[in-house]
Amino acid sequence: MAVLQMQKIHICALKSDRKKILEELQRRGTVQIEDGKGEDEIFRKIDTGAERAESEKKSQAAQDALQVLGRYAPEKKGLLSSLEGKRELTASQYREGEESCARTDETVRRVLSLDRTIAEEHAARIRTETTIESLKPWLGLDVPMNYAGTSRTAAFVGTMPGQWKEEDILAAVAEAAPQLEAFSIEILGRDKDQTSLFAVCAKEEAGQLEDALRMNGFVRPQIHTDQTPAAYTADLEKEAEEHEKAAEAAVKELQALAGDRRDIEFAADYHSMQAEKYQVLGEMLQSEHVFFAEGYIPKQAGASLKADLEKKFVCEAELSEVPEDEEAPVLLHNNAFSAPTEGVVESFGLPAKGEVDPTGIMAFFYYFLFGLMLGDAAYGLIMVIGCAFALKKYPHMGSGVKKMLQMFLYCGISTTFWGVMFGSYFGDAVTVISETFFHRTVTIPALWFEPLDDPMKLLMFSFLFGIIHLFTGLGVKGYMLLKARQVMDFFCSVVLWYMLLIGLILMLLPSEMFASMAGATFVFPGWLSELAKWMAIIGAVGIVLMSARDKKNIAVRLALGAYDLYGASSWLSDVLSYSRLLALGLATGVIASVINTMASMLGDGIISAIGFTLIFLVGHTLNIAINLLGAYVHTNRLQFVEFFGKFYEGGGKGFRPFSAEKNKYFKFKEEN
């Protein structure tokens, strides 16, 4: 439960070593470089926007090339390949890749060019095939599409909308141009949308025939060629085949370039790192021969970095404490038990200045409450085995995924524990299977009690666990106040509330109302009951009088104090929120029992056993998935709303070092 202490680091070095020093800082990933301030005539910032944009462009091009290779030459990966993590590269391997990066950029350009070629060839083939399709109605025409007739005749090739018969067209033309004497019309084809035709007449009557046809919607085709439709179609089919062959050749070349996939992945990360490096360069103050960088570094890493930089380069590195008026970035550091839940804290907000890191104490409650909600030993073992296998099988997975799996591993252990306490193993599967297939009753007794048989008992303990959880949060608030030496605030905001709440609880326990709910009776000695009453009274009066102690107006002070006392009702609602422990715990067990009952309804034969197995597997898979999600969501809610609401605000800025952590494909490995 700790926030690493930060130091300021100031680096002044020769400009000739700038590239190597930045690479060293980026490889180590321990310094958050800040935007330099205090420009003057000597030290200025340089504009690196163009170089950064160029590196980002190259990185994106490499990413695009990888997507192209993924379409035409996909890698064969297993279901869990995403857990393999990034490739590890030594500094020497990185330098080798850097030297060959120019060649890789050419490969990237070639990949993208081939992708454009494939797209263009496919588009050209589609256009050609569309033209071929449009020529089908004209295949019976034995003259070119642009045929206009002979020296003494005029010819018309075109279409009319709708379906026409030859006699209908002749009648329509005769009606529109009754003076026409010699003309001929041949229908070449028709469909529901149009009728294709060929018309011929004497040249001196061409205008009359064309006008008559146009009056009925005649239009000439958009295809103009001096070939017959059949010959033109044959040429187009050859052209389409050539486009297809060109596309196939480009695909084969792309597939051959798939062997450079690792180099392209390196180029994508390398140029991304270069872009970030140019961004940092633009934030540093530089003179003609010297550059100056400053930022934050964890105190435990400061001395080592200072020594290495001064040993390898002509530079001066100075470490100093973070000034009181500055808010240092936050980097959490916890033990193996607590660290997996750091992501939960970060999703709510990192500790602000003066706050403690709640990860350590929250982790215990997180695992505890998660297991209580899921509460099935078999489900817990599945989680433990699955997470342990993934962690063992893929040791180089990303830190975020690794922490998540570790968190669910501990949650699985907690779930197994509570499942044993409640006697739940796939619900009541042991009993159902023994009765269905072996005709005898076998049960694994609960070490504590079975929630389905005594839900009120689980509800009461849920409230108890909730009160402990909330009181712990209030205690953390008290610790923070004492750490800040705010003794009066500790007394007024923590001690008085403890007195009020504990007094009210002790007054509630021996009451008839509680006895009817819990099914248990508490009898306290008279002195304890009297003590509880006075604790509640003193706490309530103290809250009313002291909550607004900074106000001089008595009326305002009392009014604000009474309003603060009204906040006790929020404690009631917070405690009631822990009834979700009962609800989710019962839901898991009830659904599991229903699944087992449905499966057992098939009987005890061999076919029934197969059906039982299928229903069992599908049903419990869905049950664990749904309730695993429910337990995760509601456990987070209990931390964020109820627990953190008592002491934690967050709002700290995370530590964002200049590093290669953003890389997608490789990470640095320290050389011995």
DSSP-assigned letters across all residues of 577-606: HTHHHHHHHHHHHHHHHHHHHHHHTT-SSH
Cα–Cα dist 22/11, whole Å: 11
Residue 670: pLDDT band (50, 70, 90) is low
Strand partners, 666: 87
Please state the rounded mean pLDDT for residues 340-356: 93
Query: What distance lies between CA 408 and its chain's CA centroid?
Result: 18
Long-range contacts of 169-178 (CB under 8 A, 24+ apart): 169/195, 169/197, 169/216, 172/212, 172/215, 172/216, 173/209, 173/212, 173/213, 173/216, 176/211, 176/212, 176/215, 176/216, 177/208, 177/209, 177/211, 177/212
* 553, 576, 599 - which closes a domain: 576
For residue 30, give the nearest of 219, 436, 308 by alpha carbon. Answer: 308
Residue 443 lies inside a defined structural domain of this protein: yes
Answer whether residue 26 shows pLDDT above 80: yes
Structure tokens at 330: 């936050």
Residue 107 lies inside a defined structural domain of this protein: no
Residue 602 and residue 621 in one domain: yes
Residue 660 lies inside a defined structural domain of this protein: no
Ramachandran category for residue 367: left, alpha or beta (phi over 0 → left; psi -120 to 50 → alpha)? alpha
Cα–Cα dist 280/90, whole Å: 23
Instruction: Give residue 7's pLDDT.
Output: 94
Residue 552: pLDDT band (50, 70, 90) is confident
* 187, 220, 253 - which closes a domain: 220
Answer whether residue 500 shows pLDDT above 80: yes
Stretch among 1-15, 260-274, 419-433, 658-672 having the lowest mean pLDDT: 658-672
**Residue ranges in 204-284 assigned as alpha helix (H):** 206-214, 229-257, 261-283
Contact 339, 637 (CB under 8 A): no
pLDDT by residue (tens digit) across 164-183? 988 889 899 888 888 887 88
Determine what percent of the chain falls in helix, strand and coil, rounding each to the nearest 5.
Answer: 65, 10, 25
Residue 537 and residue 605 in one domain: no
Q: How many domains does the chain have?
A: 4
Residue 555 and residue 637 in one domain: no
Residue 623 and residue 644 in one domain: yes
**Residue ranges in 394-491 assigned as alpha helix (H):** 399-422, 429-437, 455-483, 487-490
Please state the rounded mean pLDDT for residues 396-408: 92
Residue 504 and residue 563 in one domain: yes
* 518, 552, 576 - which closes a domain: 576
State which of 393-397, 522-526, 580-584 shows the largest mean pLDDT.
580-584
Strand partners, 332: 3
Please state the rounded mean pLDDT for residues 203-230: 90
What CATH number does the domain containing 316 carry? 3.30.70.120
Cα–Cα dist 593/428, whole Å: 6
Residue 312 and residue 379 in one domain: no
For residue 398, give the nearest of 652, 81, 28 by alpha carbon. Answer: 81
Answer whether residue 199 shows pLDDT above 90: yes
Residue 309 and residue 413 in one domain: no
pLDDT by residue (tens digit) across 448-489? 999 999 999 999 999 999 999 999 999 999 999 999 899 999
Task: Classify burial at 440, counting beta carbons within 10 Å of its beta carbon; exposed 0-12, middle 13-18, buried 19 or more.
Answer: exposed
Residue 266's CB is within 10 A of a number of other CB atoms, namely: 25
Please state the rounded mean pLDDT for residues 403-431: 96
Residue 397 and residue 446 in one domain: yes
Mean pLDDT of the chain: 91
Instruction: Give residue 224's pLDDT.
Output: 83
The CA distances from residue 622 to 186, 269, 587, 588, 592, in Å, are 69, 39, 13, 11, 10
Residue 424 lies inside a defined structural domain of this protein: yes
Instruction: Give residue 423's pLDDT.
Output: 95
Strand partners, 12: 292, 316
Residue 622: pLDDT band (50, 70, 90) is very high
Contact 342, 403 (CB under 8 A): yes
For residue 664, give the nearest of 67, 23, 12 by alpha carbon. Answer: 67
Residue 320 and residue 385 in one domain: no
Residue 110 lies inside a defined structural domain of this protein: no
Residue 409 lies inside a defined structural domain of this protein: yes
Residue 309 lies inside a defined structural domain of this protein: yes
- Please list, in sequence order, all residues whose beta carbon lies within 8 angstroms of the beta carbon of residue 664, skipping any fewer than 6 positions away: 86, 265, 268, 269, 272
Residue 1: pLDDT band (50, 70, 90) is low
Residue 619 and residue 542 in one domain: no
Please state the rounded mean pLDDT for residues 601-617: 92
**Owning domain of residue 644:** 334-453+578-653
The CA distances from residue 43 to 49, 50, 597, in Å, are 19, 21, 78
Residue 89 lies inside a defined structural domain of this protein: no
Rounded (10°) angle between helices 101-135 and 91-99: 50
Backbone angles phi, psi at 222, to 5 degrees: -80, -15
pLDDT by residue (tens digit) across 231-270? 999 999 999 999 999 999 999 999 999 999 999 999 999 9
3-state secondary structure of 663: coil
pLDDT by residue (tens digit) across 32-88? 999 888 777 788 888 999 999 999 999 999 999 999 999 999 988 777 777 888 888
Residue 341 and residue 425 in one domain: yes
Please state the rounded mean pLDDT for residues 417-428: 96
Contact 602, 611 (CB under 8 A): yes
The continuous run of DSSP H or E covering 104 comes out as: helix 101-135
Instruction: Give residue 672's pLDDT.
Output: 44
Residue 491 and residue 506 in one domain: yes
